[in-house]
Amino acid sequence: MTVSTPSRARRPRAVSAASTPPFKPTTTADEDLPDHHPQQARPARTGCGEAGEHGQPVRCGSLPRERRDPGEREEHYGRDDAGRQPGHAAHPDHRRHRRGAGTGSALPAGGSWLRRNGVTLVLQGIGVDAGIGTAIGRVVMLARGNIQVEPRMLDHGDVEQEVKRFLHAVEEAAAQLRKIRQQIPKETPADILEFIDTHLLMLEDKAISEAPVQLIREEGCSAEWALQLRRNQMIKVFEEMEDAYLRTRRDDLDHVVNRIMGILVGERKQDPWDIEGHIIVSEDLTPADTIMLHHQGAAGLVTEFGSPMSHTAILARSLGIPAVVGAHGATTLLEPGETVVLDAGNGAVLCECDASTLDFFCHQIQREQAHRHSLQALRHAPAITRDGEQITLWANIELPEDIATVRESGALGIGLYRTEFLYMNRERLPDEEEHLEAYLKVVRGLEGLPVTIRTLDLGADKPCAHHPESTACINPALGLRAIRLCLKETAIFRTQIRAILRASAEGDVRLMLPLLTNVWEAQHARAIIDDEIHNLQGAGVPIDPDIPIGAMLETPAAAITAEHFARLFDFLSIGTNDLIQYTLAVDRSDDSVAHLYDPVHPAVLQLIDHIVQACREQEKPVSICGEMAGDPRYLPVVLALGLKTLSMQPSALLEAKQRIRGLYWWKLRRHSARLLQDDDPMQIQRQVAQLGEE
């Protein structure tokens, strides 16, 4: 990652190979208003109603629309005339819109923001509301593309000075990484720290620190050109390597070279502590980037690409970071260092806001804090409907460190522990003891509550350097991933299985297999598990030999044949994120088709119902663990289909509990037949809205 915040004096940026041509702002007839430009002598905000000398950003919390005061200045911002949110039933025009006071013009179906005085620019995307829906802060650009430079030759007398300049840039790059490492909390996962350590080691390598010096002296070229030539040479070597893992290290090389190059071309690198409270803007972010930025205290994320259902977006939601994804042109339309408002609830980024607009958003933090405080009263209350039906709420987690938020949410267990991050951004595969250490942190932290550990689901949007073939195919979502990878690389699978079995001796552990499509896959996986149970018992290692083993059903094939899986396993879980993607042939990480990703499409509802019915017939427990489970809009549908165990992001749990306590189970169940019989998605949407109001 490369971050930069040039001074407010706007200057040309270094050319990036991944740059996107800027969009021209949409203008209105009243653009020639009296000058109330907010960046002229406007005090920066440090809190609600306070002006700060150094422009420290604040984070505000946006409230669901129904709790907002109808007297506020907001009109149809973030929704079209039908009240639909971008990315669900309307496809927004991703541009930076300029609105003036008193205009009657409307924006394309992405929404509008109306001001009494001056202008506000709105960049529309798709929101990822993490419970904390709004952030205010200065923009920090995170460059993903490679910085390209032109060849430049030196005068003979300038060579040694150029060598000193290059070596200083290398030292500065190392200093930046060391500061980042010092700033990240001790409890940060080892793989993130290892990611930084790898880059530090690469900076010490002679291939990077000395080879460009030789080129400067022998060829008389600039430091930038010498570094680029050396990078190109090394990339060629990486690509010719037979070892697939080593070939993937070119990404680390690009990270390191771009950091040095940014210093050489004059980009002012953001000090690591300056990321705290700021809005990170990038073309895209990897899950590892997202975790690192979270630990550095980023207030919000804006990306040009991605959708609300991409793994990075799901991770941001889990970590409690508000985000706007699919905001095309963000890296060219937003300026490093300018103050923006990120409104995840409406999928928009507002810039050039005046003081009254900032006051409006700062006022929301007080209401959000009050609402979140009121939800804490439900922490130990049961999730029970108004007619007395008990609903079990579990949490989804990504990392052992998430157990603190699980406890705060009042979850009754963990319905999905994603284990992929043990494998990402590492020099080597995790061994059995590393697995066990991570699992025991969670099991012991939950103090007897159930913990469902899903075996690794690498591939698609969760790459692993040790198995690049899982993401190198044309469509990695349909390639070698999840259980397919485990059954191909059984040594990796057995290592994880042994660790899960050993952890089961210390708590209520359940083992779950992802992405099954064939019965023979289930039989093969269970045979391996049974073999490891036998081996560990023979060695006298304490385990739970009767550990519950379940399957996550997330493909149409598995859903249609759910009765076979229900007979083979102790429990089933419905993974709606992938089930919707595969059923509707919609890439859930592609913002250009995000409007087609419909959790209440007739086909999706019928598949979910089929799984529930199969489990009921086999008397096997079933749960739902996709994002749909924690979305207040779809909770009535989930309950109407007969699901009573829901697993969701910890940040969504208390809101879901409050929603459940206001619903009638018998009324929802009465509507299930109508939901399943209707073949019109828009009619189903209307039924869903009505269910939530009853």
Q: Which residue has the higher pLDDT, 459 or 104?
A: 459
Question: What's the pLDDT at 655?
Answer: 94
- Burial profile 540-563: b = 16 or more Cβ within 10 angstroms, e = fewer: eeebbeebbbbbbbbbbebbebbe
Do 338 and 239 lie in one domain? The reply is no
Question: What's the pLDDT at 474?
Answer: 60
Q: Which of 244, 264, 284 is the last residue of a domain?
A: 264
Running DSSP on this structure, what letter comes out for residue 476? G
Q: Which residue has the higher pLDDT, 475 or 407?
A: 407
Q: What is the mean pLDDT of residues 421-450?
A: 90
What's the number of domains the chain is made of?
A: 3
Structural domain containing residue 129: 2-143+272-370
CATH code of the domain covering residue 260: 1.10.274.10
Start-end of H helices in 270-410: 287-295, 311-319, 330-333, 355-376, 403-409
**What band does 289 get if pLDDT is binned at 50, 70 and 90?**
confident
Kindly state whether residue 375 falls inside one of the protein's structural domains.
no
Q: Residues of the chain with pLDDT > 70: what percent?
A: 75
Question: What's the pLDDT at 65?
Answer: 31
Per-residue CA distances from 259 to 52, 178, 230, 275, 588 (Å): 31, 13, 15, 16, 31
Which of 11-20, 100-109, 583-592 holds the top average pLDDT? 583-592
Please tell me the distance from the alpha carbon of residue 308 to that of residue 127, in angstroms, as a whole number: 7
Running DSSP on this structure, what letter comes out for residue 407? H
Given a cut of 70, whether residue 379 has pLDDT beyond it is yes
Do 461 and 549 lie in one domain? The reply is yes
Kindly state whether residue 432 falls inside one of the protein's structural domains.
yes
Given a cut of 90, whether residue 349 has pLDDT beyond it is yes
Do 604 and 525 lie in one domain? The reply is yes
Among 101-110, 147-156, 467-476, the minimum mean pLDDT is found in 101-110
Please tell me the distance from the alpha carbon of residue 629 to that of residue 619, in angstroms, as a whole number: 22
pLDDT in tens, 4-34: 444 333 333 333 333 333 333 333 333 333 3
Asked if residues 526 and 549 have their Cβ atoms less than 8 Å apart, the reply is yes
Q: Which residue has the higher pLDDT, 512 or 589?
A: 512
Asked if residues 395 and 647 have their Cβ atoms less than 8 Å apart, the reply is yes
Among 113-122, 228-237, 497-506, 558-567, the minimum mean pLDDT is found in 113-122
**What band does 316 get if pLDDT is binned at 50, 70 and 90?**
confident
Q: What is the mean pLDDT of residues 140-167?
A: 86
Question: What's the pLDDT at 659?
Answer: 94
pLDDT in tens, 648-693: 999 899 999 999 999 999 999 998 988 898 888 778 878 877 776 6
- What's the burial of 505, exposed, middle or buried (CB within 10 Å: 0-12/13-18/19+)? middle
Q: What is the mean pLDDT of residues 314-327?
A: 88
Asked if residues 274 and 5 have their Cβ atoms less than 8 Å apart, the reply is yes
SS3 of 116, please?
Answer: coil
Do 178 and 131 lie in one domain? The reply is no
Do 456 and 551 lie in one domain? The reply is yes
pLDDT in tens, 69-85: 333 333 334 433 333 33
Q: Token pair for residue 363?
A: 């006022």
pLDDT in tens, 42-75: 323 333 333 333 333 333 333 333 333 333 333 3
Do 398 and 457 lie in one domain? The reply is yes
Kindly state whether residue 288 falls inside one of the protein's structural domains.
yes
Q: Which residue has the higher pLDDT, 267 or 446?
A: 446
Tell me what the pLDDT averaged over the chain comes to: 79
Kindly state whether residue 149 falls inside one of the protein's structural domains.
no
pLDDT in tens, 533-565: 999 999 999 999 999 999 999 999 999 999 999
Do 127 and 198 lie in one domain? The reply is no
Given a cut of 60, whether residue 96 has pLDDT beyond it is no
Do 97 and 209 lie in one domain? The reply is no
Asked if residues 380 and 368 have their Cβ atoms less than 8 Å apart, the reply is no
Question: What's the pLDDT at 545?
Answer: 96
Kindly state whether residue 148 falls inside one of the protein's structural domains.
no
Do 185 and 116 lie in one domain? The reply is no
Question: What's the pLDDT at 522?
Answer: 97
Catalytic residues: 311, 625
Do 258 and 276 lie in one domain? The reply is no
